[in-house]
């Protein structure tokens, strides 16, 4: 069997910074000499290539155009590599992973996003293990087929579906969680894959989508939220869709003035989507009186999608030019494992 190959794509973030052990100064890693900086990679037996953004981007500054840039890089190198590892800052990694899952239609190879809480070179860094294991997963093939043919996030011994992932801690190494879908793999002495949790290999060639519409907003509800403030936010020019993060299983205030502001937005053609603020669980719109009005006015339920998945899915679908009816229909369909069927 020929040696497997993995392309490392460096976008920015802590994992791509090298901490000089003498001075403590941080500088970008030299990806062309990555094996010198992380000598453990020599024993993996994987042929590595690398591409870096000319100017590394902190993940807080990542924009939809940068998601497209990563997708294009993968598309340009797709036939030459068996898998891909995207080095990315952790703060918005779940958004990028979700977006890539939609932009890379027909993906049949591993795309593993990873990062770290501490730079490589610091004594207690988590960067080395995250990088090494992410590469191993991206290069894992069995019987001529990739083990994980989807976009995933690897962090601190756990592999998650990218569009099911949320960042839950700013300091702990266990920074991510997948509340509504099982882990795809757990790394210990061996990497143990949950075959039932991994997407099946999808037929057809890769299609890289490059159209994304960012006229999407997020509105977090809170007790005492003022209807006039909501009306102002929903009146943003060119706004096309808004993700409402609601209470519990999709509930919100029943105050008439608040509901009227939502109806006004719906009447102007703004698509409203209901997600829960809770880390886990799903929206059950209409189950309680406090969400029945949402059903009546045509607000869509995101079911068990994360906010990150709902936002990026809307941007993707709007970018494809769907009208209101087809857009609603496609949003309610699982496209790449981002939501549970039914």
Question: Please, what are the averages of pLDDT over each run of 10 residues along the chain (342 residues)?
Answer: 87 77 69 70 87 88 97 98 95 96 97 87 80 96 96 95 91 82 94 97 92 97 96 96 96 95 96 95 86 93 97 98 93 96 69
pLDDT at position 45? 87
pLDDT at position 123? 73
Active-site residue identified among 14, 92, 246, 312: 14
CATH class of 5-208: alpha beta
pLDDT at position 17? 74
What SS3 state is found at 244? strand
Percent of residues in the chain assigned helix, strand, coil, to nearest 5: 30, 25, 45
Measure the CA–CA gap between 213 and 221, rounded to whole angstroms: 24
Domains 5-208 and 216-331 share a fold: yes
**Within the chain, where are the H helices?**
34-37, 64-77, 93-103, 127-138, 227-234, 256-267, 289-296, 307-319, 324-331
CA atoms 148, 82, 131, 117: torsion sign? negative
pLDDT at position 121? 67
**Contact 17/59 with Cβ under 8 angstroms?**
no
pLDDT at position 1? 47
Q: What Cα–Cα distance (Å) separates residue 70 from each residue in 49, 59, 63, 216, 218?
A: 15, 13, 11, 21, 24
What angle do helix axes 307-319 and 93-103 make, rounded to 10 degrees? 40
Measure the CA–CA gap between 206 and 109, rounded to whole angstroms: 10
pLDDT at position 313? 98
Determine whether 290 is an active site residue. no
Q: Is 216-331 in CATH node 3.40.50.40?
A: yes
In the chain, domain spans: 5-208, 216-331
Strand partners for 49: 7
């Amino acid at each position: 069997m020929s040696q497997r190959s993995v392309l490392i794509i460096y976008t920015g973030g802590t994992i791509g910074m090298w901490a000089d052990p003498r001075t403590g100064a941080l500088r970008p890693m030299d990806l062309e000499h990555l094996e010198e900086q992380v000598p453990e990679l020599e024993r993996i037996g994987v042929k590595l290539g690398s591409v870096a953004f000319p100017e590394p981007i902190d993940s807080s500054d990542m924009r939809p155009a940068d998601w497209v840039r990563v997708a294009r890089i993968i598309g340009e190198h797709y036939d030459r590599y068996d898998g891909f590892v995207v080095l990315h800052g952790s703060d918005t990694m779940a958004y990028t992973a979700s977006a890539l899952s939609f932009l890379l239609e027909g993906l049949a190879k591993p795309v593993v996003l990873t990062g770290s809480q501490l730079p490589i070179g610091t004594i207690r860094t988590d960067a080395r293990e995250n990088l090494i294991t992410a590469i191993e997963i991206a290069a894992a093939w069995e019987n001529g087929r990739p083990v994980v043919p989807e976009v995933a996030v690897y962090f601190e011994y756990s592999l998650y579906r990218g569009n099911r992932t949320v960042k839950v801690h700013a300091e702990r190494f266990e920074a991510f969680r997948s509340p509504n879908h099982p882990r795809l793999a757990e790394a210990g002495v061996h990497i143990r894959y949950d075959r039932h949790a991994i997407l099946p290999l999808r037929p057809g060639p890769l299609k890289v989508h490059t159209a994304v519409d960012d006229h999407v907003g997020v509105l977090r509800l809170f007790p005492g939220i003022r209807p006039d403030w909501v009306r102002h936010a929903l009146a943003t020019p060119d706004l096309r869709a808004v993700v409402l993060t609601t209470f519990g299983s999709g509930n919100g205030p029943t105050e008439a003035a608040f509901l009227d502001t939502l109806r006004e937005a719906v009447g102007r053609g703004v698509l409203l989507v209901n997600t829960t603020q809770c880390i886990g669980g799903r929206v059950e719109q209409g189950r309680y009186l406090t969400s029945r009005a949402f059903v009546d006015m045509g607000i869509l339920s995101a079911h068990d999608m994360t906010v990150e998945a709902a936002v990026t899915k809307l941007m993707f679908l709007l970018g494809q030019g769907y009208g209101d009816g087809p857009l609603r229909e496609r949003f309610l369909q699982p496209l790449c494992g981002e939501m549970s069927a039914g």
